[in-house]
């Protein structure tokens, strides 16, 4: 098809008009898509945590994905050659200016990568409780650790960690903490019971440094003093 000079000018004019007209539309679509992507990204909260205690230095990373009024929560936990994956359901029981209460039931599976034998630990049931009421904060962990399904000689246990803190300022919170491990099976019983105090310090926006110092009450005839604890760093986003 041949196009004369006048037709070429007309065609170029139409193309220019359409191009100019499409710029605002494309820009608006891109801006709207960017806002939607930003909203989707910002709706997913996450956290990073390190603990140093009798188990060594542990690394945790987790996230919460909103699904309507609830959320799908997951995390990984790593210490030495052991890795754990947990998944659960975040349930907001109450969310107001004066009281915030949420429950997080989870199940997890653990692998010891020092051996090529598949999973080694079932971490279930798990229940985490988080309560904020003004300056008071309460947190509770309840976890079951079952090794016997993967190893006949494996030990099973139940573990709980509970603490309450009171914020005496914007950056300092203190309170009591108790931890207990109950050994299951024929030789079961109270394997560990630690009482102590906790100090949380704000380390900038979304950062918390935690220090727990406690006394182990279930000691055999050893020379240990029983003084123990944990150092924790948590960052949320």
pLDDT per residue, tens digit, the chain (237 aa), is 444 444 433 434 443 444 444 434 433 444 454 554 454 555 999 999 999 999 999 999 999 999 999 999 999 999 999 999 999 999 999 999 999 999 999 999 999 999 999 999 999 999 999 999 999 999 999 999 999 999 999 999 999 999 999 999 999 999 999 999 999 998 899 999 999 999 999 999 999 999 999 999 999 887 789 999 999 999 999
pTM: 0.81
Query: How far is the CA of 171 from the CAs of 4, 204, 205, in angstroms?
Result: 77, 9, 10
Q: How does DSSP classify residue 55?
A: T
Give the C-alpha separation, 8 to 30, whole Å.
32
Rounded Cα distance, 50 and 171, in Å: 19
Q: How far is CA 235 from the centre of its chain?
A: 10
Give the tokens for residue 7.
Answer: 């037709």
CB 113 within 8 A of CB 125: no
Q: Which residues pair with 214 in a beta bridge?
A: 196, 228
pLDDT at 60: 98
- Give the span between the Cα atoms of 195 and 178, in whole angstroms: 5
Nearby residues of 27 by Cβ (< 8 Å), 6 or more positions away? none
Q: Report CA-CA distances (Å) from 149 to 46, 86, 187.
A: 32, 18, 17
- Who contacts 169 (Cβ-Cβ below 8 Å, separation ≥6)? none
What DSSP line would sit under 128-193, residue for residue?
EEEEEETTEEEEEEEEEEE-TTT-TT--EEEEEEEEEEEESSSSEEEEEEEEEEEE-STT-EEEEE
CA distances, 181 to each of 142, 145, 193, 227 (Å): 10, 10, 7, 17
pLDDT at 12: 41
β-partners of residue 227 are 215
| Upstream peptide bond of 125 is cis (omega within 30 degrees of 0) | yes
């Amino acid at each position: 098809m041949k196009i004369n000079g006048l037709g070429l000018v007309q065609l170029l004019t139409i193309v220019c008009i359409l191009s100019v007209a499409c710029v605002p539309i494309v820009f608006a679509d891109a801006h709207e898509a960017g806002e939607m992507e930003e909203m989707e990204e910002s709706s997913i909260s996450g956290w990073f945590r390190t603990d140093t205690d009798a188990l060594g230095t542990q690394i945790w990373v987790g996230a919460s994905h909103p699904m309507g009024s609830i959320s799908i929560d997951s995390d990984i936990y790593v210490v030495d050659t052991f890795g754990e994956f947990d998944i659960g359901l975040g349930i907001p029981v109450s969310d107001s200016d004066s009281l915030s209460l949420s429950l997080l039931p989870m199940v997890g599976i653990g692998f010891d990568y020092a051996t090529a034998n598949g999973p080694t630990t079932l971490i279930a049931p798990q229940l985490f409780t988080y309560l904020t009421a003004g300056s008071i904060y309460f947190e509770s962990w309840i976890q079951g650790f079952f090794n016997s399904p993967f190893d006949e000689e494996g030990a099973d246990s139940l573990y709980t960690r509970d603490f309450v803190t009171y914020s005496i300022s914007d950056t300092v919170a203190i309170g009591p903490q108790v931890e207990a491990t109950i050994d299951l099976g024929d030789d079961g019983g109270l394997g560990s019971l630690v009482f102590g105090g906790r100090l949380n310090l704000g380390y900038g926006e979304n950062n918390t440094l935690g220090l727990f110092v406690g006394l182990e009450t279930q000691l055999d005839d050893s020379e240990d003093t029983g003084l123990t604890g944990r150092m924790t760093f948590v960052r949320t986003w």
